[in-house]
Amino acid sequence: MSEAAYSSSSLHWFLAGARGIFSLPALILMTSFVGFAAFAFEAELTRGEAMFMTLMVWALPAKMILTGMLVSGAHLFAIILAVSLSSIRMMPMVASLVPDMRSDRTPTWWLLFLSHFVAITAWVFATRTISAVPREHRTTYFAGFGMTLTLVNTALVGICFGLVAAFPPVVAGILYFLTPVYFIASIWATSRQPLLKLAFVIGAVGGPLLALVAPGMDVLIAGIGGGTLAWLIDRQIRRSKAARVAPDEGMP
């Protein structure tokens, strides 16, 4: 393929990814960012601060944590630690997505740049659609979706900031709550292995219980502990199956 043809094809896949802004995950996330704009306004952030936070932090839960801790007057180190721990949950998403996106020609710096846009919405969208994209264009396709989604939501926060003051608090809360409801359903639907669904169930059951026992650390413990427990259970099941199969293979 000539360089001109390759560039034209890359533009095609970038625009194909950008059109994902009209997908259901993107539209639901946009309604949630309207809720974030309301929250930022009530927290007395400026329009510029809310837009900058959207562009640079990006992940919605991390921004909610950051805004809430700023309002509470928490220490800067505590804020950095809390936001960092919240963002660590994106690492498994990046680790699972990169092998499906990269090719032999993909530079590391490009993958590092694209990792900024990996959040639940982008991960769900890419997991569902990227297999239909030629491997050499998958990073371009993801860039089109991730960059468009980030820029559109940054502009949306700027436009809605102040306007949402007229919304009843319950409406802003519902808009924000749409995202976790959709994500829960999407993660369950896109889980390809029983291990993932088992970890999901353990985390969903253990999270509320840990919120009573260890508030503030419940999400971290439920995530790490639930995933580890699911892995141990899955490993034991595999060993049991292997032990049942082995004697049968030795029989004449």
Query: Can you point out the beta strands (E) in 65-181?
Result: none
Cα dihedral 208/213/215/216 (nearest 10): -100
pLDDT for the residue numbered 113: 93
Q: Which helix (H) or strand (E) holds 102?
A: none
* Tokens of residue 16, six digits: 């194909």
Angle, nearest 10°, between helix axes 76-88 and 60-72?
A: 160
List of residues 6+ apart from 227 with CB closer than 8 A: 199, 203
* Residues 122 and 145: beta-carbon distance below 8 Å: yes
pLDDT for the residue numbered 153: 93
Between CA 110 and CA 38 the distance in angstroms is 34
- Per-residue pLDDT of the chain (252 residues), as tens digits, is 555 555 568 888 999 999 999 988 888 888 888 878 887 887 888 899 999 999 988 888 788 778 877 877 767 787 787 788 777 778 888 888 888 898 888 899 999 999 999 988 888 889 889 988 998 899 999 999 999 999 999 999 999 887 776 777 777 777 767 666 766 776 676 666 777 788 888 888 887 887 788 776 766 677 778 888 888 888 888 888 877 765 555 555
The region, left, alpha or beta by phi > 0 then psi within -120 to 50, assigned to residue 168 is: beta
List of residues 6+ apart from 4 with CB closer than 8 A: none
pLDDT for the residue numbered 144: 94
pLDDT for the residue numbered 110: 93
